[in-house]
């Protein structure tokens, strides 16, 4: 009977609880008198401030030709604009991006198991110590890669039966951004790509996916990376 009652809880309520837990579980750190930003976080905060001030619209982490940080810069700038410039605002802004990724992971698990199991698995990810600080560390691309990886996995599992060339284009664009953000997230996508394109025998769509990944990387590099004068 308990399991039956549990299944009657709406999906949106499970998702809402997960988001609340993302923030409540980080309050001890956010409210600590010892809260400090490291050097990388200060740089990303400065990049977000430049957006607010209208000075520039940085896409990559300052001083690097990698570390796609546009998403994190935008969320940081929105946070600064709404709540003022500060360490708490910056980290909460990054936590919002990470929480979006958590919702996509939850939606993915919903496709594979019951609502209760999906909730518990995702809650474990929210509370795992390894993500306690990493979920709101503004270091240029890390959290963007996490969330975009969650989106890719969700799309593959959700649309596996109706996958087409448009899906491959979208996956190619997102995967290119993941590579530019933090390429070490890509090995985690290998099993789901193998499932969609090899196991499901969608071989022709690989010819769409791979060029889209390469084109995304080349276009963003050409448009936003300033050549060195050295």
Q: CA distances (Å), 134 to each of 3, 141, 183, 194, in order?
A: 34, 12, 17, 28
Alpha-carbon distance 119 to 153, whole Å? 17
Predicted pLDDT at 133: 87
First to last CA, the chain: 71
Instruction: State the 10-residue block means of pLDDT for the chain, 230 residues long.
Output: 62 95 94 87 92 88 82 95 93 96 96 94 94 86 93 89 83 94 89 86 88 93 63
From residue 34, alpha-carbon distances to 21, 29, 40, 88, 195 in Å are 22, 8, 17, 12, 46
- b vs e for 143-162, b when ≥16 Cβ sit within 10 Å of the residue's Cβ? bbbbbbbbbbbbbbbbebee
Measured over the CA atoms of residue 74, residue 76, residue 79 and residue 85, the dihedral's sign is negative
What pLDDT score does 161 carry? 65
Q: What is the pTM of this model?
A: 0.89
Residue 225: predicted pLDDT: 67
At 27 the pLDDT is 94
């Amino acid at each position: 009977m308990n399991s039956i009652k549990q299944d009657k809880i709406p999906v949106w309520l499970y998702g809402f609880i997960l988001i609340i837990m993302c923030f409540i579980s980080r309050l001890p750190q956010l409210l600590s008198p010892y809260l400090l930003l490291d050097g990388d976080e200060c740089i990303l905060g400065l990049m977000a401030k430049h957006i607010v001030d209208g000075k520039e619209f940085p896409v990559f982490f300052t001083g690097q030709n990698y570390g796609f940080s546009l998403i994190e810069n935008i969320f940081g700038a929105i946070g600064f604009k709404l709540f003022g410039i500060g360490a708490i605002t910056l980290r909460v802004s990054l936590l919002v991006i990470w929480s979006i990724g958590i919702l996509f992971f939850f939606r993915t698990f919903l496709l594979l198991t019951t609502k209760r199991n999906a909730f518990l698995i995702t809650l474990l990810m929210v509370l795992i110590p390894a993500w306690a600080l990493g979920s709101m560390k503004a270091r240029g691309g890390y959290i963007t890669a996490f969330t975009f990886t969650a989106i890719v996995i969700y799309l593959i599992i959700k649309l596996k039966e109706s996958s087409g060339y448009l899906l491959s284009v979208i996956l190619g664009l997102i995967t290119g951004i993941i590579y530019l953000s933090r390429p070490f997230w890509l090995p985690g996508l290998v099993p789901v790509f193998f499932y969609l394109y090899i196991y499901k025998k969608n071989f022709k769509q690989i010819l769409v996916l791979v060029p889209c990944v390469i084109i995304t990387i080349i276009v963003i590099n050409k448009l936003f990376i300033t050549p060195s004068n050295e």
